[in-house]
Structure 1
């Protein structure tokens, strides 16, 4: 059994592991490598995918929006295992692009990992995870709206990355940062429709 994730760098290592020897890597392969029992690592993975230039791939932000919506619903009903439909799990990314994205994130990941620590646990554990799930539902709905603007989905990726990492590291301060980022994203979406 794999050790639980506790840092961004560990997640990047697992992303690289999933793609070894393959031309394409599916979301299912990534989830198998990361684990399907924890919501935090999967939100972190989706957030990281959206932060990188991969978010410019047509329909990827909308597909990730559907995945986040389903994951957030499952968080609310307290499911033990994550379920996603086959059409999302079969979505593939070229291994080279994934490796490039992982490499691109290494330096910021090291910096962020030094700042993250256990604090304000009440904001991420037990009932504290329900507001996170509700905000993730909101982010999921905004992702398709952000897709027409190149790389705008990266802003939602920042919030999802923060929520995922906050849940993994039990860092409530990081969750508060993610809430703030979500407010900014909501403002961006509202402004673009005015």
Structure 2
């Protein structure tokens, strides 16, 4: 096994996050530490763990009420591109530029979004885990990162249509969840959602 493959395997095996519910628990813990939550504190909370939260968390937040803020979907897509590019390069820890890492949201608003996501988290934790695990690592992990970058490129124009950016973000969330819980069947579903997202975008801009 090559060194990059070993690095990917170590990322997936060590310090397992535990699922979407546990991920939201960690986000609530971060939010409880102050009046505002910065992007840097979120990154630090999940660093040296699975790559999954770095795709899943931004996508879920975009799909929550927070995502209704004008311009925020494009900002979140930019952050996902940055994370996905680092996954593609096999970085051990995620990096954010200082100006991006300092961006923040009020803890109360952040907690409300996290709690809004709880019912969906319970569903995902119940149904998605540990199938076809080889599809969640190695070259498949890199392919997922490329797919997420392409999906993010569709977000800025889709933001002009209310809630249209939810389609690519749902696919990105599926990739993140698949990596987090090592579910290759969900990885396949994420590619299906990717095709659907591109289809939705094409339909909206050619209608």
When normalised by structure 1's length, the TM-score is 0.92
2:73 is matched with which residue: 61, 68, 71?
61
Q: In structure 2, how many angstroms separate the alpha carbons of the residues matched to 1:166 and 1:47?
A: 13
Q: In structure 2, how many angstroms separate the alpha carbons of the residues matched to 1:85 and 1:99?
A: 24
Q: In structure 1, how many angstroms separate the alpha carbons of the residues matched to 2:35 and 2:187?
A: 35
Following TM superposition, the consecutive aligned residue runs of length 4 or more in structure 1 with deviations greater than 6 angstroms are none
Shift of 1:33: 1.8
- Give the stretch that moved more between structures: 129-138 or 73-82: 73-82
Shift of 1:21: 4.2
Counterpart in 1 of 2:190?
A: 178
Q: In structure 2, how many angstroms separate the alpha carbons of the residues matched to 1:119 and 1:56?
A: 34
Q: In structure 2, how many angstroms separate the alpha carbons of the residues matched to 1:147 and 1:39?
A: 26
2:54 is matched with which residue: 42, 45, 70?
42
Q: Does 1:154 align with 2:169?
A: no
Contact persistence 1:55–1:153 (CA under 8 A): no
- Give the stretch that moved more between structures: 124-133 or 69-78: 69-78
Q: In structure 1, how many angstroms separate the alpha carbons of the residues matched to 2:157 and 2:58?
A: 17
Q: Does 1:81 align with 2:60?
A: no
Q: Deviations over 1:157-180 (max 9, x none)?
A: 211211111101110111111111
- Give the stretch that moved more between structures: 107-116 or 150-159: 150-159
1:29 is matched with which residue: 41, 47, 50?
41
Contact persistence 1:53–1:151 (CA under 8 A): no
Q: Deviations over 1:89-141 (max 9, x none)?
A: 12211211111111111112112101112111221111111210110111111
Residue 80 of structure 1 aligns to a residue in which SS?
A: coil
Q: Assess, with a 3 A threshold, how the Cα gap between structure 1 residues 158 and 99 changes in structure 2: closer, same or farther.
A: same
Q: In structure 1, how many angstroms separate the alpha carbons of the residues matched to 2:192 and 2:170?
A: 11
Counterpart in 1 of 2:4?
A: none
Contact persistence 2:39–2:101 (CA under 8 A): yes
Counterpart in 1 of 2:103?
A: 91
Q: In structure 2, how many angstroms separate the alpha carbons of the residues matched to 1:104 and 1:179?
A: 26
Q: Deviations over 1:35-65 (max 9, x none)?
A: 2554211111111111111111122111111
When normalised by structure 2's length, the TM-score is 0.87
- Give the stretch that moved more between structures: 160-169 or 79-88: 79-88
Q: Does 1:71 align with 2:64?
A: no
